[in-house]
Amino acid sequence: MKIKLSIYKKQTIISALVLVTFVLTLFVPSICAYVIYGKENFNALPYNFKVLLCNGTSLILCFLVTFYLADFSFKRMLEMLGLNKGIAMAFLLALLAALPHLLGMQYLHGFNKSVSFSDIWIEGIHPGYHEEIIYRGFVIGILVRYAKWPAIIPLILSSLLFALGHLYQAHNISESVVVFCTAFGAGTGFYFFYKYSNWNLWFPLFLHSLMDTATTISNWQGTITMSLQDNIFRGITILLVIYISYRISKKEKSKADNEFLKG
């Protein structure tokens, strides 16, 4: 009985720290604007600097809390966030899956010759690692894997906020509904890609960054919903990701079964 209470207490502490930290990350821009810099000074800062400042602060908060939950073990912290598995293979598989989308954007819209490295970093690479670490690795991963939450609750919570964060792309109510549903579906999909790749966050992280980079380096302009032609190439990428995730999941299950039989 004492062991069960101890486990329950630990899960409660983990849940509270993750949720409080996650809420704090949502208010980081407001804290910077109204508490640290002042609204006018904050608004006067370069856009790229503001993005890196706010998102970087959010990531640091998540890393610090995870480091504490991991008993100040860097190795354990990476494990809790799903960042302790093979990076190279995850990148190669993500690149393979994202290739149709990458090539499709160039074929349909052409290469954006005026794009800068700063644009690629802020609009292409950065959102992928920032959103995947916080939404999938920190919130869903820790709550499901270590606080033992039913996956549906943190999944809906994170996907909901992930979708709300993309509403700036819409210009009216009907567009807002479509953008919201598309982003919600994307957030849900990245969770399943994370789970079925044996909780290797590098796979959805690289995939997310590569897909965002595909649009950043092309002359494409639009919202996350995209056109029918765009979605054909994106759909091929999604099908490849599903297949890769399925193969990884099947391989891990077979490995676990073999170890069980040997044991």
What is the per-residue pLDDT across 115-161, written as a single tens digit (0 to 9) for each?
999 999 999 999 999 999 999 999 999 999 999 999 888 888 888 88
Cα–Cα dist 100/110, whole Å: 14
Confidence of residue 59 (pLDDT cuts 50, 70, 90): very high
Residue 7 is predicted with a pLDDT of: 76
pLDDT reading at 252 higher than 70: yes
**Phi/psi at 218 (nearest 5 deg)?**
-105, 175
Whether 263 has a pLDDT exceeding 80, the answer reads no
Q: For the chain, how are helix, strand and coil distributed in percent, rounded to 5? A: 80, 0, 20
- On the question of pLDDT at 200 being above 60, the answer is yes
DSSP state letter for 111: B
Question: Which of 252, 208, 229, 210 has the alpha carbon at shortest distance from 86?
Answer: 252
Given a cut of 70, whether residue 208 has pLDDT beyond it is: yes
> pLDDT tens digits, residue range 223-237?
778 888 999 999 999
Q: Phi first, then psi: what are they for 83, rounded to 5°?
A: -110, 15
Mean pLDDT (whole number) for 76-101: 95
pLDDT value of position 151? 86
- Say which amino acid occupies 112: N
**According to the model, what pLDDT value does residue 1 have?**
52
Q: Is the pLDDT of residue 101 over 60?
A: yes
